Copies of this chain bind each other. A is one copy, B any other.
Amino acid sequence: MKTESRLVQWICWLIVITSFFLTGFIIGWFARPTSTDTSHDAGSRRHLREFLDEMRAENIRDHLRKFTRLPHLAGTEQNLQLAEQIKGEWLAYGLDSVEMVPYDVLLSYPNISQPNYISIVDELGNEMFNTSLSEPVPEGYENVSDIVPPYSAFSAQGQPVGDLVYVNYGRTEDFFQLEREMGINVTGKIVIVRYGNVFRGNKVKNAMLHGARGIIMFSDPADYCAPGVQPYPDGWNLPGGGAQRGNVLNLNGAGDPLTPGYPAKEYTYRYNLEEGVGLPKIPVHPIGYHDAIQLLKNMGGDIPPNNWKGALNVSYRIGPGFTDSFSTQKVRMNIHTNNQVTRIYNVIGRLRGAVEPDRYVILGGHRDAWVFGGIDPVTGAAVVHESVRSAGKLLRKGWRPRRSIVFASWDAEEFGLLGSTEWAEENAKVLQERAVAYINADSAIEGMYTLRIDCTPSLHTLVYDITKQVSSPEEGEEGLSLYESWHKRDNWTDDRDAPRISKLGSGSDFEAYFIRLGIAAGRARYTKNRKTERYSSYPVYHSVYETFELVERFYDPSFRKLRAVAQVRGGLIFLLADSQLLPLDASQYAGSLTKYAHTIAQLGQKHPDALVKYGVSFDSLFSAVENFTVAARDFHERLTTLDRTDPIQIRMVNDQLMYLERAFVDPLGLPGRPFYRHVIFAPSSHNKYAGESFPGIYDALFDIERTANPKEAWDEVRRQISIAAFTVQAAAMTLTPPA
């Protein structure tokens, strides 16, 4: 009996113990998280705050000062040394690796022994007037050597002599007006145009197309001086002796003119100069407005319409040639600029991602400058430098982003986006497969008014998010966020009550990443007041007067504006790299597509009779956009119920988000522009700077106005609508649930 009861007791205890063990086992089993940390995003936000706060105005000032002491023209020893310095500092800041990546690309320099200039010559060829050979050097830089004089990079060599014709901005519509309305043919003439409104390469292309023997570009005070502002150094306006350097290529995204489509490495096949992409066949030269007055003042011919007149004290007669007693005088261009294959260096720094090292977020901007690069590009490079430093600081504390971050210091941007494009070409496959986004870091400031964002629609939401976490840099706005400050100054009134965000055009290093490869991209900078300040870019753009002092005295004395831009650019890459779910918004893309479809259809509807006659309809495009809208909405709805603990589920939807931008790329390219492949966004064929939506349709409609064969032109509109509709439809398919 006793042994029996003891046995029962033992059994009871055994049961109790076993059941406690089992309870423990079961709780243990289920308590264990089976996957990645779901509280990741909260931690990420805390790190973001640290990352943003670590960026200091004072440091940005120091970087800018340090990087602007000497000229850093692409292909020069100074720019190589700067690359080495940046590499060293990035390594010291703590990046996992930093490498120099060289390419041998076609650059273009003035001939030192034969300077470029323009003359007025008499009938014997005697030079009556010559334009200046250089700009007056600003105070403090008198002893600097290697300041390249103003020139048009890649100009053809030659000494054409001819009568001048003034063609306003040299746009397609200006030449059209000149020929059709004013009855003037520029064949065999030298054209003179003012800078501004469109990319200078487009002006040169137009001049060539119309048969000009040379082209002179000048900075008119109407376009390069703000009212009430003194010329530099007393203010930030362009002095009369300053002139705008710049390349005059028509690359359309090809990169190095001799190796289109492929990286310019030692083994790469190079075309001959005559076969090179986008090289002008005529001499080109830029001058300042003091010299321009001398060329313009005695011109003959008709007085042009008022919108052709600038702010100089001349009558802006269109020519051809000079008037009255000067009519025997001609203009001679003396251009001896040389093209030469030259080694350039990108600096590529990497920070390895902790969870998905095969996903890349890129922050890239150029390092090469025409002279000191006070604004362009060093305000950008200084911002990148400070971002690297801040990221390095976090790294030391044990932080590491989910995805990899790539920092790039591009070379030879000024010669046609060459460094960034060659690297994109060399890494195209890897980037297509793995790049999440590209944030551009060219000049961080071009005005003193407010923030300017150009980006792909899927980044809109993230831009608003990050600007709400950055403080306004404006005096007297201590409590305000950058978002609020920006919203106040530039509301998107037509469309929505939010700060305005613009489309990406071209003209900086994001081009190959966005327009060729279809990687989501954006750029941020401080800008002027678009409503009141009508000059192009900023007055001293690409002149010797872009100095450190220009920024310190006028643009951003506290360096708080640059810090705000650094926080926006840095914040974007931080959240793109570290968020568990990619912060890309397909619904914003849908909204933008809807808007663009209406805009382009309205442009077509200016010709209601032709639409009927040639059977042109935008219905397929609207229908595709509608499908995309539904697919995007459903996609984001599914995200709300996603199992955040399942790493494959997360990766699948992130892949869909990452590849969304890729879906808008057509490998066949836009007509005649094989490297512009983005069907939604590309520059117009008539202005590289302007990003157009549905550029294929836009260009086809642009031609309608000037065509001799409307049937063919409208067929091309129909073809482009069909391609756009297909592309949007295909993009919608990438958002539907797989399988």
Contact = CB atoms under 8 A, between A and B. Distances in A.
A108 to B, nearest CB: 24
A668 B253 CA distance: 14
Nearest to A716: B269
Contact of A731 (B21, B352, B429, B723): B429
A723 B269 CA distance: 8
Contacts of A27: 25, 28
Contact of A262 (B269, B428, B726): B726
Interface in A104-143: none
A34 B719 CA distance: 53
B29 A427 contact: no
A566 B16 CA distance: 59
Contacts of A26: 24, 28
Contacts of A23: 21, 24
Nearest to A719: B269
Contact of A352 (B29, B267, B739): B739
Contacts of A655: 358, 433
A71 interface: no
Contact of A267 (B263, B429, B677, B722): B722
A233 interface: no
A651 B23 CA distance: 36
A268 interface: yes
A544 interface: no
A353 B668 contact: no
Contacts of A434: 738
A668 B426 CA distance: 14
A674 B668 CA distance: 8
A279 B350 CA distance: 52
A24 B28 contact: yes
A262 B722 contact: yes
14 contacts: A21-B21, A23-B24, A28-B32, A29-B31, A32-B34, A34-B35, A261-B668, A262-B723, A263-B726, A267-B725, A269-B723, A404-B739, A429-B733, A648-B651
Interface stretch (A194-202, A363-371, A659-667): A659-667
A81 B38 CA distance: 52
A82 interface: no
Contacts of A663: 429
A216 B734 CA distance: 47
A-B interface, 5 closest residue pairs, ranked by CB to CB distance from nearest? A24-B24, A28-B28, A358-B738, A267-B620, A25-B28
A677 B677 CA distance: 16
A68 to B, nearest CB: 32
A32 B730 CA distance: 42
Interface in A693-739: 715, 718-719, 721-723, 725-726, 730-731, 733-734, 737-739
A554 interface: no
A355 interface: yes
A357 interface: yes
Nearest to A648: B647
Given A21-B21, A659-B429, A662-B433, A739 B269 contact: no
Interface in A298-338: none
A174 interface: no
Given A20-B24, A29-B29, 12 more contacts: A22-B24, A25-B28, A25-B31, A32-B34, A96-B739, A261-B668, A269-B722, A355-B648, A357-B738, A357-B739, A430-B733, A433-B655
Contacts of A404: 738-739
A643 to B, nearest CB: 13
A624 to B, nearest CB: 8
A265 B727 CA distance: 13
Chain A interface helix/strand/loop/mixed: helix
A360 interface: yes
A143 B659 CA distance: 55
Contact of A350 (B265, B268, B715, B739): B739
A341 interface: no
Contacts of A353: 739
A652 interface: yes
A26 B27 CA distance: 9
A17 interface: yes
Contacts of A32: 28-29, 32, 34
Interface string A482-524: 0000000000000000000000000000000000000000000
A662 B737 CA distance: 23
A520 to B, nearest CB: 15
Interface string A249-285: 0000000000001110101110000000000000000
A356 interface: yes
Contacts of A352: 739
Contacts of A263: 726
A497 to B, nearest CB: 34
A726 B268 contact: yes
A127 B55 CA distance: 93
A492 to B, nearest CB: 30
B652 A358 contact: yes
Nearest to A351: B739
Contacts of A22: 24
A556 to B, nearest CB: 35
A64 B171 CA distance: 67
Nearest to A715: B269
A484 B734 CA distance: 44
A319 to B, nearest CB: 43
Contacts of A648: 355-356, 647, 651
A734 B28 contact: no
Contacts of A668: 261, 674
A32 B25 CA distance: 10
**Residue from the set A360, A677, A733 with the largest chain B CB neighbour count within 10 Å:** A733
Contacts of A677: 667
B28 A730 contact: no
Contacts of A350: 739
Interface string A32-56: 1011000000000000000000000
Contact of A730 (B21, B429, B652, B721): B429
Most B CB contacts (10 A, CB to CB) among A26, A427, A668, A719 go to: A668
Nearest to A718: B269
Contacts of A31: 25, 29
Nearest to A737: B357
Contacts of A662: 429, 433
Given A261-B668, A268-B722, A428 B730 contact: yes
Contacts of A739: 96, 350, 352-353, 357-358, 360, 404
